[in-house]
Amino acid sequence: MNQPITTAAKVEQVLTQDRPRRRGVVIALLVVAVFGIASFFLFAKDKDTPLQFVTGEVTRGDLTIQVTATGTLAPINQVDVGSEVSGMIEKVLVDFNDRVTQGQILARLNTDEQRARVVQVQAALAVADARVLQTTATVLETELKLKRCQTLAAKGLCTAQDMDAAQAGYARAQADDASARAQVAQARATLDAEQTRLAKSVIRSPIDGVVLKRQIEPGQTVAASLQAPVLFTLAENLAQMELRVAVDEADIGKVRDGQTATFTVDAYGERIFPATIAQVRLAPLSVGGVVSYETILSLNNAELLLRPGMTATAHITVEEIHDTLRVPNAALRFVPPATAAEQKGGFMDQLFPRWGSRTRPPREDNNKSKRIWAPDNGQPRAIDVKTGPSDGRMTQIFVSEQDDGGKLEAGTTIITDTASKPR
């Protein structure tokens, strides 16, 4: 049987059920109190901490706009010297860095076999010449026989059959003579070819220059089949060289023939060498999806300090701007901290700034509008400007009308960074 529940038991049961609810309310109140105290201290600290800025100045002066590209140095005229005939290298007469003149012998191939071929063809030519003598005599003989027959035929002393035989013999003699003369021409052409091959066994320099590479040694066999093997690499004149650089497609529209440039190489540290744009090639170069255009710079290497293959970094001057207002690039990148008005969203924005609103730099429009900031009674004041080209450190600016009537000129102090930022 169920026993009746007393009044005291009911009261105790109700109190037991309300304990978790009261505990949750107490925890919520404590969390709110902690957030409130933290918010108070954050606001108080921001109010008491003055903003300090790193400043610069608007200046007036010149800007040199440059395009940077890397490339390698090369001779203006570089020639690979090969062999058109096969054979064994008998002698090498030059070495690396040797100066050579046009026609100078660089190397010789063994010519024993080739000389034997020349002698053989000369003998064949002599045989052909002798045959021509024979056929010439035969032509003369048959011609005389035909004439006699014609004379006798007029007197009725030469039959028609004899006349036909004389005419046929004369025609055959002429044909044999023509064939013999053709064989002479053929033998003479073969002799010329073999003599040319013999001459090609002597490797000569095609230009005046210097030996950059030598890729053969005495005793080495050269096999010239479909492509002539390269034996030497010659440079015509290292006093005049060229620098071949790859200009990015984003910059190629600014580069023109005749523009001046400077470049540096690792071998000579900070030394700057002058150059001039000689050619901007139309054919694109694509490496890893990046498109560039080969540009040729001509340069003077009278001191012979520069060498083929050196890597160089070139700075091409594409524009020079004189007497213009300039600001440091850092001033255009600067964005001031959020002001008190922008922080009125509540203490949640202070405790969790990623949840709150942020100060964003103004968007750029088509005419390159930017915003710089000037200190005004300890607070940043916005100044709208339009920007021109940049040399990487300074940017040209054009002053627009100011809402507050402020004037931007050379010497005006502007903010480039925050020295102490409120926490």
Residue 84 and residue 219 share a domain: yes
Average pLDDT over residues 130-158: 91
184 or 158, higher pLDDT = 184
Residue 179 predicted with pLDDT over 50: yes
Domain CATH number, residue 277: 2.40.30.170
Residue 281 predicted with pLDDT over 90: yes
Residue 6's pLDDT is 54
Domain membership of residue 417 (yes or no) is no
Residue 194 and residue 144 share a domain: yes
285 or 159, higher pLDDT = 285
Tell me the DSSP string of 226-295.
Answer: SSPPEEEEEES-TTEEEEEEEEETTTGGG--TT-EEEEEEGGGTT--EEEEEEEEEEEEEEETTEEEEEE
Domain membership of residue 13 (yes or no) is no
Give the HSE-up count for residue 266: Cα atoms under 13 Å, Cβ half-sphere: 6
- Beta bridge pairs of residue 371: 384
Tell me the DSSP string of 41-98.
Answer: HHHHHHHHS--EEEEEE-EEEEEEEEEEEEEEEEESSEEEEE-SS-EEEEEE---TT-
Residue 278 and residue 262 share a domain: yes
Q: Please give the tally of structural domains in the chain.
A: 3
Domain membership of residue 329 (yes or no) is no
What does the mean pLDDT of the chain come to? 84
Residue 309 and residue 278 share a domain: yes
Residue 272 predicted with pLDDT over 70: yes
Domain membership of residue 154 (yes or no) is yes
Residue 231 and residue 269 share a domain: no
Residue 118 and residue 94 share a domain: no
Domain membership of residue 138 (yes or no) is yes
pLDDT tens per residue, range 47-65: 455 568 899 999 999 999 9
CA distance 331 to 417: 7
Alpha carbon of 14 to those of 4, 9, 21, 24, 26: distances in Å?
A: 17, 9, 12, 17, 19
User: Would you state the structure tokens that stand for residue 25, as one six-digit string?
Assistant: 């309310």
User: Would you state the structure tokens that stand for residue 269, as one six-digit string?
Assistant: 């540290």
Domain stop point among 217, 236, 255: 236
Sorted by sequence, the CB contacts under 8 Å of residue 105 that are 6+ apart come out as: 93, 202, 203, 204
* pTM passes above 0.75: no
Closest CA to 245 of 301, 293, 308, 306: 293
Domain membership of residue 368 (yes or no) is no
What spatial distance separates the first Cα and last Cα of the chain, rounded to whole Å? 71
Residue 163 and residue 92 share a domain: no
Domain membership of residue 5 (yes or no) is no
Domain membership of residue 163 (yes or no) is yes
CA distance 7 to 4: 10
By residue range, what is the domain housing residue 262? 67-76+237-322
